[in-house]
């Protein structure tokens, strides 16, 4: 990674972390605190002005908000390597945990996606149930952090034509799966007795979409080395929307995306 940006990245990270810790206090204190606070502006990095010169990976972090310490670690790690990712949110988890973790993600330039309300297997649900799960979660996300998700990752990566139709008909969002090579899904990975670091690095390719579960300690702890090795191989890390934008591809509602090319 470039030595020149390390220090400022670390400083920015520290500032953001402390703002999370004090957020409860902030909401009860008045104007004086607010005026001393810097405006929340997501970072931008030099590579974003010429993304075509790099290989791109869109990391997606599932089942959020959960395991706040691990997720903060992952966000800070991506910031350290000049990158972003996408948080796939369960409506139920967001209702329980509150908005702080997602606000921290947004401050760091992350994108928020939808991952259903309660992690039901939607491939076994009716059209109406699917619509209800996705709409309910969209509403909770919008109410909590003020953004409208554009991407939906079905629980268990169980996608089908009914799910795609429900998402398309409502004009909401595009369905996203995981890397074609399932070993980069860190959930399968642990069941296979695999190694997150090795698989994430060995199975990388330009335009890949990853499924990561930061609730898993091994995944959170491996992110720094994963990012370091991929960064050194010429990869940069972006959100789902940035991946398609930077590749000049308009996502289609008829598809389930395993990577930027489908």
CB 85, CB 74: distance < 8 Å? yes
Taking CB atoms, the residue at the shortest distance from Zn ion is 62
Residues 6+ apart with CB under 8 A from 153: 60, 62, 88, 113, 114, 115, 175, 176, 177, 178, 211
Q: State the minimum distance, in angstroms, from the CB of residue 90 to Zn ion.
A: 7
**Secondary structure class of 50 (helix, strand, coil):** coil
Neighbours of 185 (CB within 10 A): 23
First to last CA, the chain: 30
CB 82, CB 56: distance < 8 Å? no
Q: State the minimum distance, in angstroms, from the CB of residue 177 to Zn ion.
A: 12
> What residues from 61 to 100 belong to the interface with Zn ion (CB under 5 A)?
62-63
- If the CB atoms of residues 6 and 121 are measured against Zn ion, the closer one turns out to be 121
- If the CB atoms of residues 117 and 246 are measured against Zn ion, the closer one turns out to be 117
Residues 6+ apart with CB under 8 A from 206: 55, 56, 235
- If the CB atoms of residues 62 and 82 are measured against Zn ion, the closer one turns out to be 62
> What residues from 114 to 173 belong to the interface with Zn ion (CB under 5 A)?
155
CA 199 to CA 189: how far, in whole Å? 8
The site that binds Zn ion (CB under 5 A) totals a number of residues, namely: 3
- If the CB atoms of residues 55 and 216 are measured against Zn ion, the closer one turns out to be 216
**Secondary structure class of 181 (helix, strand, coil):** coil
- If the CB atoms of residues 43 and 155 are measured against Zn ion, the closer one turns out to be 155
Residues 6+ apart with CB under 8 A from 209: 57, 58, 60, 176, 177, 178, 179, 240, 243, 257, 258, 259, 260
> What residues from 205 to 224 belong to the interface with Zn ion (CB under 5 A)?
none
Q: State the minimum distance, in angstroms, from the CB of residue 111 to Zn ion.
A: 17
Binding mask 37-66 for Zn ion (x = CB under 5 A): -------------------------xx---
- If the CB atoms of residues 62 and 103 are measured against Zn ion, the closer one turns out to be 62
Q: State the minimum distance, in angstroms, from the CB of residue 178 to Zn ion.
A: 11
Q: State the minimum distance, in angstroms, from the CB of residue 62 to Zn ion.
A: 4
Backbone angles phi, psi at 58, to 5 degrees: -105, 105
Q: State the minimum distance, in angstroms, from the CB of residue 155 to Zn ion.
A: 5
User: Where on the chain is the footprint of Zn ion (CB under 5 A)?
Assistant: 62-63, 155
């Amino acid at each position: 990674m470039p030595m020149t940006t390390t220090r400022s990245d670390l400083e920015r990270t520290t500032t953001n972390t402390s703002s999370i810790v004090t957020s409860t206090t902030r909401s009860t204190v008045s104007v004086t605190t607010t005026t001393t606070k810097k405006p929340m502006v997501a970072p931008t990095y030099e590579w974003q002005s010429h993304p075509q010169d790099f290989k791109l990976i869109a990391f997606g972090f599932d089942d959020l908000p959960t395991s706040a310490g691990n997720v903060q670690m992952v966000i800070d790690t991506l910031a350290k390597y000049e990158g972003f990712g996408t948080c796939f949110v369960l409506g139920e988890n967001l209702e329980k945990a509150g908005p702080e973790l997602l606000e921290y993600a947004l401050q760091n330039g992350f994108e928020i996606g939808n991952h259903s309300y309660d992690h039901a297997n939607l491939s076994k649900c009716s059209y109406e149930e699917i619509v209800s799960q996705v709409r309910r979660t969209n509403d909770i996300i919008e109410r909590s952090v003020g953004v409208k998700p554009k991407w939906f990752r079905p629980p268990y990566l169980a996608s089908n034509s009914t799910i795609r139709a429900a998402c398309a008909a409502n004009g909401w969002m595009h369905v996203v799966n995981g890397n074609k090579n399932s070993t980069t899904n860190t959930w399968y990975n642990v069941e296979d007795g695999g190694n997150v670091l090795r698989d994430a690095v060995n199975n990388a390719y330009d335009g890949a979409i990853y499924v990561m579960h930061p609730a898993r300690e091994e995944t959170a702890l491996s992110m720094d080395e994963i990012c370091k090795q991929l960064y050194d191989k010429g990869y940069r890390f972006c959100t789902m929307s940035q991946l398609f934008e930077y590749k000049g591809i308009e996502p289609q509602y008829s598809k389930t995306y395993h990577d930027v090319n489908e």
